[in-house]
Structure 1
Amino acid sequence: MKLEAISELLEKVRERNPLVHNITNVVVTNFTANGLLALGASPVMAYAKQEVADMAKIAGSLVLNMGTLSEREVKAMLIAGKSANQHHVPVLFDPVGAGATPYRTETAQKIVRELDIALVRGNAAEIANVIGESWEIKGVDAGEAGGDVASLAKAAAEKLETVVAITGKVDVISDGSTVYAIDNGHPILTKVTGTGCLLTSVMGAFAAVAENTLAAGAAALVAYGVAAQKAAEKSAADGPGSFQIQFLDALSSVSADDIHRLGKIEQHKL
């Protein structure tokens, strides 16, 4: 995928200001909303089962995030997801902590089984557990313990019949046939809660304006990573609090020139 195409998708997000419907976790709601606004999208957080179907059908995309699980939220996710499917609205899923407890794993598998998911984003452990493979996980965070992440992304995409993004030191994304590796971002992202959750919602903004979900996901990974690098240049030495503020500013200002200067994406050959 060419950097020019990534820049064009970023510009489309800013021009079209897509409505991104988030059913996300209580830890990251404010950060997610501010991040989407900074990027140029329009966030809405609607959770009540009485309105999620109506909200989902008018959105540009629907993002489901199971960071703080409850039975009520799961029901709302399924209602919203089915409405989005009926109205051809792309659904993105972030299986936070899949593998940490049986309930999380079962919920993640239920969501991908019952809904038509356009893109799933998680770390290696979460993705592995969604498709029933073993991968070490602690709490709702996981490292990149052994395993071929590119092969895992491809296998998961094939099994789930969707686009799968696995984020880590190097991000990979696959639709089951093509695999891209993206080497952008900065380690300080792991010191600010919600950066992964916001990334999934940013992918939702790109998916809302793109015809191809793989291209949308790859473009979002590059743009997001480049913004993180820009922010880290100014603030990483000062700590995660300073970085968080600079990162929101960088999402607002990241440009085509930045993407051409810093973007690192290549097709991965398995």
Structure 2
Amino acid sequence: MDKSTANPTAGTLPPGALLERVRAQSPLVHCITNYVAMNFAANVLLAAGASPAMVHSEKETAEFAGISGALTINIGTLSDHWLTGMELAADAARAANKPWVLDPVAHHATSYRRNAIARLLALKPTVIRGNASEIIALDGGTSTASGVDARDSVELAAGAAVNVARKHATVVAVTGEADFVTDGHQSVRISGGSHYMPMVTAMGCALTGLVGAFAAVAPASPLDAAIAALACFAVAGEQAAVQAEGPGSFSWRFLDALAALTPQSLTGRQRLARA
């Protein structure tokens, strides 16, 4: 089902055009992410042309969300004061009509996480980005995962993604061996990337941040924004893998490939298919 084309769904904002916007506008992206992901996620955003800010204190998250182009929330290393900061930031982003992206890391693993994700979902995220196991669990299904890693296929999670998107009036991006993005009515599959990607810590967390960057420059088109961010990862991953000798060299080559992306190379290499 692979084919090189412009966005086959909404179509008004192709990935290449959105990449140009990110490069030109360098949107400020407020990232509340986990300790493991902060450095790599910040480098990914910088490589793509965005401006990251890792601000998580409850004393400033609301104010900072209001001045940012977009907010991203990742619950990887969760604690009470971080959760309070997340809720305050999401409330402020909504009040300022700024998009915000939720990464429900291992939300099904413990009762504490399940309660936290319910509170955050009530604040109506613009986009939810997760692996297949996380999205299946969000839909009330049973996942085979016991921690942060996916143990289910993206294909198996497609129906759950559509259900979650409709229930919460949001865009859902399921990432894995082939990505699936839906707003509950239109859906797209994105192929590409590399088998090294799951071997690099914080790759998915960094992608959540990049979705935020694209949403910041296309706040009225979150489906297009999510597709564009995932297409960038797919193409950069393919390019980085060509000379990579393992996950270590792939990691820095990925940053270089992401920084080297142009709208033309993205349009020529992206692989999007109507689902």
Measure the CA separation in 2 of the matches of 1:146 and 1:266.
14
Displacement of 1:147 after TM fit? Answer: 6.4
Matched, 1:139 2:147: yes
1:99-110 map, 5 Å:
99-110=108-119
| Matching residue within 24, 37, 48 for 2:33 | 24
Displacement of 1:102 after TM fit? Answer: 2.0
Displacement of 1:110 after TM fit? Answer: 1.7
Contact 1:105 1:129 in 2 (8 A): no
- Please state whether the residue corresponding to 1:148 is helix, strand or coil: helix
- Please state whether the residue corresponding to 1:164 is helix, strand or coil: strand
Measure the CA separation in 1 of the matches of 2:37 and 2:153.
26
Contact 2:132 2:154 in 1 (8 A): no
Contact 1:203 1:221 in 2 (8 A): yes
TM-score (norm 1): 0.94
TM-score (norm 2): 0.93
Structure 2: gaps spanning 5 or more residues = 8-12
Measure the CA separation in 2 of the matches of 1:221 and 1:140.
20
Higher alpha-carbon deviation: 37-46 or 147-156: 147-156
| Matching residue within 260, 265, 269 for 1:262 | 269
Give the letter aligned to residue 270 of structure 2. G
- Please state whether the residue corresponding to 2:243 is helix, strand or coil: helix
Displacement of 1:144 after TM fit? Answer: 1.9
Give the letter aligned to residue 152 of structure 1. A
Contact 1:135 1:145 in 2 (8 A): no
| Matching residue within 69, 72, 76 for 2:78 | 69
Matched, 1:11 2:20: yes
Measure the CA separation in 1 of the matches of 2:252 and 2:79.
30
Contact 2:154 2:175 in 1 (8 A): no
Give the letter aligned to residue 187 of structure 1. H
Displacement of 1:99 after TM fit? Answer: 1.4
- Please state whether the residue corresponding to 2:152 is helix, strand or coil: coil
Q: Which has the higher contact order (CA 8 A, sep 6+)?
A: 2
Aligned to 1:222: 231
Change (3 A) 1:147 1:245: closer
| Matching residue within 228, 241, 253 for 2:248 | 241
Aligned to 1:52: 61
Displacement of 1:138 after TM fit? Answer: 2.0
Contact 2:15 2:267 in 1 (8 A): no
How many equivalent pairs are there?
A: 265
Matched, 1:166 2:170: no
Displacement of 1:124 after TM fit? Answer: 1.4
Give the letter aligned to residue 137 of structure 2. N
Aligned to 1:94: 103
Q: CA RMSD in A?
A: 1.5
Measure the CA separation in 2 of the matches of 1:200 and 1:147.
20
Measure the CA separation in 2 of the matches of 1:111 and 1:146.
23
Measure the CA separation in 2 of the matches of 1:102 and 1:187.
32
Structure 1: gaps spanning 5 or more residues = none
| Matching residue within 190, 203, 224 for 1:195 | 203
- Please state whether the residue corresponding to 1:22 is helix, strand or coil: strand
